[in-house]
Amino acid sequence: MIQFHNATDTDDKIININDVTRDNRAEHYFCIGCGKEMSAVLGEKREHHFRHKEDTCSWESYLHQLGKKLIKQRFETSTEFIVQYYGQSTCQKWEECKLRKSCGQLKCQSKLLFSVDLKNNYDTCEEEAGYKGFRADLKLTHSEYPEREPIFLEIFVTHECKPDKIESGIKIIEIKIDSEIDVLRPIIENEGSMVESKPYTPYNVKTIPPIRFYNFERNVRPEYPLNRFYLYRDGNGLLRGCCEQNKITCQNVETEHNDLSLFEVAILEKSVPNKQQYGLYSLGLALAIKKGFKIKNCFFCNRFRSCVLIKTTNQINPQTGKPGVIRVPNHKISKDLDRTKIASSCPNYQTDNYLCSRIISSFNPDTYWEWL
């Protein structure tokens, strides 16, 4: 015998039989499906349930109404409303991508589980509301952005969504309900359910899952942020390097360039090992030098370790009456020193080509792009 475990009270609030006690059992309860009055059965031997005082109604109608009310209640009382469905990460540049061989951990061609909080884009849930000539069991909209495309939540007990509603392009989440417990389950698409990327026919007819997502975007183009080094000439005509973080992606690295650039190197941040001695700045300068750019920087001079700079002090030399000077090894001075400016006027500057080669060889060439 079918037992009803939920009913509504005089305020149309859903009441579960577990919340009914002998003290409030005499209150008025009504069937969620047909609206007729019910009584609470709290016997000692049988499972507690609600029973129609007169003829019972359709179990299917009860489940359908219960599904609408509980899901609506969940949406309105929860801070988040998470739904999850499967999609495909697809990149048209995959075959020729430099990162494909070197960064196998990137999921550029794989199935993905998308997790979406519908409360981020919708704040209103209406029963039996219409849109584009179709009526939804529940329609999600946003009160401040009425022009935003809604989402339909459809409760499927015996009647599935008709093809014309699915093919309308409206985003639809159809939830199959066979029991009261089904109403409470998370709204997650079964793994392996999606067999095609077509938005309105994503399922194999033989394997239609209990929770279905229609007209949701399932194909995603992966975009990984890249760090970029660019070489430019400053106002004094000196060649300098600069690094930018996450300014470009693997999708636009070959087309989006800095307006000042004479030469660029872009790399995926995770491609640089944590214990790597050299970073993107060093790699960029080394590659630029190998390309023939006449770059001068103390770090790239083969006399850097033996170089000594003359620095003035705050102490006055009593013999000359001028500030004193000291000799300081170049490599021990703060990195804030403008070594490009110093090297540009140094008559003893000699490029350390061995250092350039060592820096370049420490990087996998399949992990970075060059643009000249």
Q: Are 155 and 31 contained in the same domain?
A: no
Which of 157, 185, 220 corresponds to the end of one domain? 220
Q: What is the dihedral of CA 7, 9, 10, 11, to 10 degrees?
A: -110
| Structural domain contains residue 68 | no
Q: Are 36 and 114 contained in the same domain?
A: no
How many structural domains is the chain composed of? Answer: 3
| Structural domain contains residue 95 | yes
| Structural domain contains residue 62 | no
Rounded Cα distance between 29 and 76, Å, is 23
| Spatial CA neighbour of 154 closest among 57, 78, 72 | 72
Which residue's entry shows tokens 């409760």?
Answer: 155
Rounded Cα distance between 203 and 213, Å, is 9
Q: Are 120 and 215 contained in the same domain?
A: yes
Q: Are 212 and 247 contained in the same domain?
A: no
Q: Judging by beta carbons within 10 Å of its beta carbon (0-12, 13-18, 19+), is residue 33 exposed, middle or buried? A: buried
Confidence at residue 308, expressed as pLDDT on a 0 to 100 scale: 81
Assign 53 to helix, strand or coil. coil
CB 268 within 8 A of CB 290: no
CA 223 vs CA 50, 180, 210, 215: distances in Å: 54, 42, 32, 23
Q: Are 98 and 213 contained in the same domain?
A: yes
Confidence at residue 257, expressed as pLDDT on a 0 to 100 scale: 93
Q: Are 303 and 260 contained in the same domain?
A: yes
Q: Are 208 and 238 contained in the same domain?
A: no
Q: Are 161 and 200 contained in the same domain?
A: yes
User: How does pLDDT run across 61-108, given as a tens digit for each residue?
Assistant: 899 999 999 999 999 999 999 999 988 888 888 877 877 766 655 667
| Spatial CA neighbour of 70 closest among 23, 13, 31, 151 | 13
Using only C-alpha atoms, the chain has a radius of gyration, in whole angstroms, of: 35
| Structural domain contains residue 77 | no
| Structural domain contains residue 67 | no
Which of 203, 220, 237 corresponds to the end of one domain? 220
CB 203 within 8 A of CB 176: no
| Structural domain contains residue 101 | yes
| Structural domain contains residue 63 | no
Which of 205, 220, 235 corresponds to the end of one domain? 220
Show the domain range for 143.
82-220
| Spatial CA neighbour of 254 closest among 228, 279, 288 | 228
H or E segment at 74? helix 59-77
Q: Are 32 and 92 contained in the same domain?
A: no
**Which residues of the chain fall short of a pLDDT of 70?**
1-2, 101-107, 191-207, 272-275, 310, 312-326, 335
Confidence at residue 313, expressed as pLDDT on a 0 to 100 scale: 65
Report the alpha-carbon angle 124-126-127, nearest 5.
Answer: 160
Amino acid at 81: F
Give all strands (DSSP E) within the chain, no chain letters.
Answer: 6-8, 14-16, 29-30, 37-41, 49-52, 82-89, 110-117, 124-131, 134-141, 151-156, 171-176, 187-188, 211-214, 219-220, 225-233, 239-249, 263-268, 308-316, 323-329, 368-371
Rounded Cα distance between 301 and 297, Å, is 7
Q: Positive or negative CA dihedral for 12, 13, 14, 18? A: negative
Across-strand partners of 243?
229
Read out DSSP for 259-284? TT-SEEEEEEGGGS-TT-SS-HHHHH
| Structural domain contains residue 35 | yes
Q: Are 261 and 124 contained in the same domain?
A: no
CB 84 within 8 A of CB 253: no
Assign 111 to helix, strand or coil. strand
Q: Are 256 and 308 contained in the same domain?
A: yes
Q: Are 153 and 263 contained in the same domain?
A: no
